[in-house]
């Protein structure tokens, strides 16, 4: 449906379809929309290609740099919305300023936990398709498969230099590490930060965890010396370069994790971001800097000298601090003179960890639910994007966007969409039209929401369908009108406006199309291997953990 | 503590204390704050008097006009906050623009229902002190007493012309009508709008009410012909001038209420506001225009030709429509050239009617609870104030403000505070410092929240104390940290951070001071009389209702 000829002479500005004969392969639902809007979309796509070409020309042919900042466990209403300062008892002036200077995605959907959201952004695919839909907290010997193509790999092909700093959490096996997934250079912890922020003695003293600190227990009945969590045995943070080996840094044999280690690690990542911006700005290549702080997650008050917020909770204090860091990063981008053609995105990865909300300073917000839940509170986040060369400040769009769309859209904006693989299903759609033409020009009106490997709800337009219990009649399953019942509470149909006979059935049809399409593109297995491959300097206690893993694996294959 | 001499030569700019020997009498809690801030506050007060004098001089000696728009049943998060448009599925661009041009009170407390909030604004006193703490929905023969001094009466003494248009709901007796409470001219319904918006056949057909339309029932067993609600027997809307009699308008004997009557009434009030602004702007006097729409309350979809909002609920549509009306009013104020020296306030009167939320298009919001409840969702509202001559646009204050403070503050800003009576307790404090000096300069850090005549909770700073059940130990009653637990949900102390031993006791002390102070200033009775006194043209069915009232009153005094 697109004209494959007229644009083919300008390779650099070629649209997806003109770059390769085979278009990007999407989920069934996409083709229902394409069928209705094909002509309009094709015309818009040509126009956008021209616009992108013009912007690049104005920038000496250079596609935009990308600085992607993904904050951990921050759901909708927690950053960049000054109207809510009085509720939260803290403010995020730097993120608010970024919002004023750029575009606010008011309806950004993520997956409900860290690993799935991060995989979805990196691959443009629901995590469930990649076998990494579970957020692991212990050594697992699996992770993002080498078969998957990340946004870093796509951008590499277009000549980008890619750096990753901060949280990663896409697996503890060699192929999953960032420098083996498209980044030229990476510094990252191997696991999630619970290992550092919650599973330490400071956090145990603060009542945020239990059975961590050896001095607070005896081992009288511990027949299995390997069962109990030994967070310090797990690898801390590693550094590596593309194609090379890795080494663990800043942690010595026999050391145990403390809050101080954690804060030091986080400050270091932030400082490295500032250094890398200077270095990368000096280079000839466009760059992709992926900064995923482990903060704001922190659960002890012990490291607060003097609270800076009215709220005073450890998470609230931490959010305010990280907002200050983002201010430093934005200042640095200004100082080195690259602001105009640098896309900066700041967003949360999923809702807050509600189990900790009573001690964290986070509170119950507009939407119900949080991390790990398919409810809006789990999968709706604030997301802001600044790109002065292309986006007018103070823009705001209410169309549905899914985190996978960043993969596709950033590839397009970077003139790299021709490198998106055509041999697999890509959930992300190209939202460039939304960015260039504004509200109502989005290309998605649906989201499938998984909790781990389980499809739990389907969003279409303003409606949300919660999948019924196994065996229940899906036609009677609750369908919520998110404008009239934002908290998805009115399950009792005597308390709700019945959504017209048929809505349940329409959602069942969507579910069947989505699951049926998996016959063409089956969900895949994750990569599997011995943990911590390619790390040169494993500590003895880490090697012991690996030995246990190998023993168990052999046991299970007997 | 204030210098009573230096300012006394300029009567027009005199501060409260210099105008009269006796200062305004406040609740005990005020004096604890005054004791701590006396010198600072006195210095600020002098400065503010100078500033006000300067502003008046610049405006040819004229104090500001006041246009006060009070919207019905709109809690915090429902107007003027574009960040929340995506949640609500509607927007209020005109109110948002007003907010951008003025000051947002981010922590405005009201009382939890219509009548109490309106009495509190009009008298500067908690409604419970005036005997009008109950929002009546049927003929009651009582209302705001002539003894009370309203803001209109205060402003009258300073030479203001006062006009009231729209909802009133301060009683159905002659002395309570607006033109007997300080307004030179008034047009208002006597009762609340449930009589019109809910208790009509259209609403019954829409399922919003029952047993209203005579044709939808039989009277087979109705021994008491007077028990059932006959909304059309109650007086509809009246017009009157200061000191005169009233007449009922636009409703004929035998007519019954319809949604069309209601919408016509509301459009008429809005159009009259536009006319009155033209007339008043032409006059020599400063004016106080009190516009209290009955909308947005509406519960039928029958009058919607084409939904203008994504939400589509009758309340959501109505809010958007009223926002448009406010735009017309603001345009008119501009057109007649009085914008600079006109204070415009737009606010809600209490949270939404949660019983109707499932059909209204309103939804569960940030705070829990709604109308009739002491929870934050019942008593927190959006409030915006524009006064170009004095207030910088885009200001935002998070200090606690109570609706009674408008009485005191508007009196001060209008140079009329010397007319505030000194023989009674005034709950409202002067918040001029907050308006002129901004955030953190408020003069209140507490609110007592009543439901009807019952004290239900006490707010102090970020904490909120729910009064315990009778007989329970108040020291163990729940105290909520509103930043960490905005929805006041974590009653289970195992789920909350204990607020330190002693907080319960401190709140009990506040309660004792507040109630003890009532020995000096006891709560009063409302005015009482035969309903509808002074209305010239009572319909026969209305007279029948009055006869029944008189019969019952005599019965009860036998």
Residue A300 in contact with residue A206, Cβ under 8 Å?
Answer: yes
Region A164-182: mean pLDDT is: 98
Q: Give Cα B17 distance to the centre of its chain.
A: 27
Residue A419 Cα, gap to closest chain B Cα (Å): 34
Whether B323 and B425 share a structural domain: yes
Confidence of residue A21 (pLDDT cuts 50, 70, 90): confident
Q: Is B553 part of any domain?
A: no
Same domain, A289 and A160: yes
Residues 6 or more apart in contact with residue A522 via CB below 8 angstroms: none
Q: How many alpha carbons lie under 13 Å from residue A78 in its C-beta half-sphere?
A: 37
Domain count, chain A: 3
Q: What is the DSSP string of B373-436?
A: --SHHHHEEEEEEE-TTT--TTEEE-S-EETHHHHHHHHHHTT-GGGS-SSSB------HHHHH
A263-272 confidence digits (pLDDT tens): 999 999 999 9
Which residues in chain B have Cβ-Cβ distances shorter than 8 Å to A487? 363-364
Q: Which residues of chain A have a Cβ shorter than 8 Å from any chain B Cβ?
A: 77, 81-90, 106-107, 310-313, 316, 358-359, 361, 363-367, 396, 398, 462, 482-487, 489-490, 495-497
Give the pairing of strands A446-451 and A401-402: unpaired
Rounded Cα–Cα distance for residues A229 and A216 (Å): 14
Q: Do A89 and B484 touch (CB under 8 A)?
A: yes
- Cα separation values, A65 from A366, A383, B316, Å: 34, 18, 42
Q: Tell me, yes or no, whether A293 and A321 share the same domain.
A: yes
Q: Which residues of A touch B486 (CB under 8 A)?
A: 87, 363-365
Element (H, E) at A47: helix A28-58
Say whether both B15 and B130 belong to one domain.
no
List, for residues B477-530, the tens digit of each pLDDT value: 888 899 988 999 876 555 555 566 568 889 999 999 999 999 999 999 999 999
Residue at which a domain ends, from A397, A422, A448: A448
List CB contacts (< 8 A) between A87 and chain B. Answer: 366-367, 483, 486
Chain B: closest CA distance from residue A492 (Å):
11
Residue with tokens 């506040």: B510
pLDDT (tens place) for every residue of chain B, 558 residues total: 333 333 333 334 444 444 457 999 999 999 999 999 999 999 999 999 999 999 999 999 999 999 999 999 999 999 999 999 999 999 999 999 999 999 999 999 999 999 999 999 999 999 999 999 988 888 999 999 999 999 999 999 999 999 999 999 999 999 999 999 999 999 999 998 888 888 888 888 888 888 888 888 888 888 888 888 788 999 999 999 999 999 999 999 999 989 999 999 999 999 999 999 999 999 999 999 999 999 999 988 888 899 999 999 999 999 999 999 999 999 999 999 999 999 999 999 999 998 887 788 888 889 999 999 999 999 999 999 999 999 999 999 999 999 999 999 999 999 999 999 999 999 999 999 999 999 999 999 999 999 999 999 999 999 999 998 877 777 778 888 999 889 998 765 555 555 665 688 899 999 999 999 999 999 999 999 999 999 999 999 999 999 999 999 999 999
CB contact under 8 A, A364 and B496: no
Same domain, B387 and B283: yes
Measure B484 CA to nearest chain A CA, in Å.
5
Query: Same domain, yes or no, for B386 and B514?
Result: no
User: Which of A95, A381, A383, A483 to probe by mutation at the B interface, max B CB count within 10 Å?
Assistant: A483
Pair (A255, A392) in one structural domain = yes
- Residue B339 sits at the vertex; the CA angle it makes with B338 and B341, to the nearest 5 degrees, is 75
Tokens of B433: 């410092």
Average pLDDT rounded to a whole number, residues A14-36: 81
Give A-chain residues touching B86 at CB under 8 angstroms: 106-107, 398
Is there a domain that residue A392 lies in?
A: yes
Q: What is the pLDDT of residue A457?
A: 96
- Nearest CB neighbour to B364, from listed A85, A316, A487: A487
Checking if the pLDDT of A493 tops 60, the result is no
- Stated as kind and residue range, the H or E segment containing A189 is strand A185-189
A245, A360: one domain: yes
Asked if residue B82 and residue B35 are part of one domain, the reply reads: no
Q: Tell me which chain A residue has its CA closest to the CA of residue B491.
A: A358
Residue B132 near residue B143 (C-beta atoms within 8 A) = yes
**Between the CA of residue B360 and those of A399, B203, B261, B536, what are the distances in Å?**
24, 12, 20, 37
In A414-522, beta strands by DSSP E: 446-451, 454-460, 463-466, 479-481
Phi, psi (degrees; rounded to nearest 5) at B231: -55, -35
Give contacts of A478 with chain B, Cβ < 8 Å: none
| Region for A3 from its dihedrals, namely left if φ exceeds 0, alpha if ψ lies in -120 to 50, beta otherwise | beta
Q: Taking Cα atoms as reference points, which of B339, B379, B401 lies closest to residue B97?
A: B339
Chain B nearest-CA residue for A315: B484
The answer to the question of residue B209 being in a domain is yes
Closest CA in chain B for residue A463: B311
The answer to whether the CB atoms of A486 and B87 lie below 8 A apart is yes
The closest CB to that of A358, out of B88, B396, B495, belongs to B495
Range of the domain at A44: 11-55
In a domain, B453, yes or no: no
Residue A499's pLDDT band, with cuts at 50, 70 and 90, is low
**Least confident residue range of A226-230, A516-520, B386-390:** A226-230
Residue B289 contacts residue B67 (beta carbons within 8 Å): yes
CB-based contact B85 A364, cutoff 8 Å:
no
> What torsion do the CA atoms of B423, B424, B428, B430 make, to the nearest 10 degrees?
10
d(CA B116, CA B110): 8
- Beta carbons of B303 and B260 less than 8 angstroms apart: yes
Q: Do B358 and A87 touch (CB under 8 A)?
A: no
pLDDT, tens digit (0-9, with 9 covering 90-100), for B457-474: 999 999 999 998 877 777
Asked if residue B351 belongs to a domain, the reply is yes
Say if the Cβ atoms of A484 and B84 lie within 8 Å.
no
Given a cut of 90, is residue A1 above it in pLDDT?
no
Minimal Cα distance from B493: which residue of A? A358
Is A462 within 8 Å of B496 when comparing Cβ atoms? no
Find the angle CA(B445)-CA(B451)-CA(B452) to the nearest 5 degrees: 125
Do A388 and A488 fall within a single domain? Answer: no
pLDDT tier at A4, thresholds 50, 70, 90: very low
Let me know whether B33 and B116 are in one domain. Answer: no
Residue A410 domain-assigned (yes or no): yes
Q: pLDDT digits over A377-436, tens only?
A: 999 999 999 999 999 999 999 999 999 999 999 999 999 999 999 999 999 999 999 999
Task: Please give the pLDDT value at position B9.
Answer: 36
Tell me, yes or no, whether A250 lies in a domain. Answer: yes
In a domain, B456, yes or no: no
Would the pLDDT of A45 be above 90?
yes
- The CA distance from A11 to A19, in Å, is 7
Q: Note whether B349 and B467 are same-domain residues.
A: no
Rounded to an integer, what distance in angstroms lies between the CA atom of residue B440 and that of residue B420? 26
Q: The CATH number of the domain where B417 resides is what?
A: 3.40.720.10
Chain segment A51-98, per-residue pLDDT in tens: 999 999 999 999 999 999 999 999 999 999 999 999 999 999 999 999
Q: Kindly indicate the confidence band of residue A7, based on its pLDDT and cuts at 50, 70 and 90.
A: very low
CA angle B225, B231, B232 (to 5 degrees): 95
């Amino acid at each position: 449906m697109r004209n494959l000829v007229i644009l083919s002479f300008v390779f650099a500005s070629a649209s997806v379809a003109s770059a390769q004969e085979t278009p990007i392969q999407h989920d069934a639902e996409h083709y229902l929309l394409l069928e209705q809007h094909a002509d309009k979309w094709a015309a818009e796509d040509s126009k956008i290609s021209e616009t992108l070409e013009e912007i690049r020309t104005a920038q000496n042919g250079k596609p935009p740099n990308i600085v992607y900042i993904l904050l951990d466990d921050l759901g909708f209403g927690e950053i960049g919305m000054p109207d809510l300062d009085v509720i939260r008892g803290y403010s995020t002036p730097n993120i608010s300023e970024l919002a004023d200077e750029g575009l606010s995605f008011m309806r950004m959907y993520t997956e409900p936990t860290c690993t799935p959201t991060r995989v979805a952004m990196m691959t443009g695919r629901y995590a469930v398709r990649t076998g990494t839909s579970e957020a692991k907290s212990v050594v697992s010997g699996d992770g993002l498969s080498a078969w998957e193509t990340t946004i870093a790999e796509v951008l590499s092909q277009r000549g980008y230099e890619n750096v990753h700093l901060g949280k990663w959490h896409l697996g503890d096996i060699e192929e999953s590490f960032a420098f083996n997934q498209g980044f030229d250079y990476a510094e990252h912890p191997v696991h999630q930060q619970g290992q550092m922020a919650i599973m330490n003695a400071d956090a145990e003293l603060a009542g945020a965890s239990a059975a961590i600190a050896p001095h607070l227990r005896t081992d009288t009945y511990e027949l299995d010396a390997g069962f109990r969590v030994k967070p310090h045995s797990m690898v801390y943070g590693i550094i590596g370069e593309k194609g090379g080996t890795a080494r663990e840094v800043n942690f010595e044999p026999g050391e145990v994790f403390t809050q101080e280690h954690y804060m030091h690690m986080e400050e270091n990542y932030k400082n490295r971001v500032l250094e890398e911006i200077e270095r990368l700005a000096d280079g000839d290549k466009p760059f992709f800097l992926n900064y995923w702080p482990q903060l704001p997650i922190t659960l002890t008050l012990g490291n607060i000298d003097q609270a800076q917020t009215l709220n005073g909770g450890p998470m609230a204090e931490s959010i305010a601090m990280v907002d200050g860091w983002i201010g430093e990063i934005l200042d640095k981008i200004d100082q080195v003179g690259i602001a105009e053609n640098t896309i900066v995105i700041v967003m949360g990865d999923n809702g807050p960890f509600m189990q900790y909300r009573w001690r964290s300073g986070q509170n119950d917000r507009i939407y119900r639910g949080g991390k790990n839940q398919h409810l809006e509170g789990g999968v709706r986040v604030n997301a802001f994007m600044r790109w002065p060369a292309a986006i007018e400040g103070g823009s705001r769009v209410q169309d549905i966007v899914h985190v996978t769309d960043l993969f596709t859209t950033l590839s397009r904006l970077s003139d790299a969409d021709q490198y998106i693989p055509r041999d697999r299903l890509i959930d992300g759609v190209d939202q460039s039209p939304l960015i260039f033409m504004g509200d109502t020009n989005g290309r998605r009106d649906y989201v499938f929401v998984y909790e781990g490997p389980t499809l739990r709800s389907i969003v279409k337009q303003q409606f949300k369908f919660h999948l019924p219990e196994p065996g229940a009649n899906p036609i009677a399953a609750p369908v919520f009108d998110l404008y009239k019942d934002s908290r998805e509470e009115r399950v009792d149909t005597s308390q709700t406006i019945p959504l017209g006979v048929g809505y349940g059935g329409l959602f069942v049809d969507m579910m069947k199309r989505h699951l049926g399409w998996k016959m063409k593109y089956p969900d895949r297995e994750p990569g599997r291997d011995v943990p911590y491959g390619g790390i040169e300097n494993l500590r003895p206690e880490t090697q012991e953990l690996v030995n246990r893993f190998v023993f168990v694996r052999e046991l299970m294959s007997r």
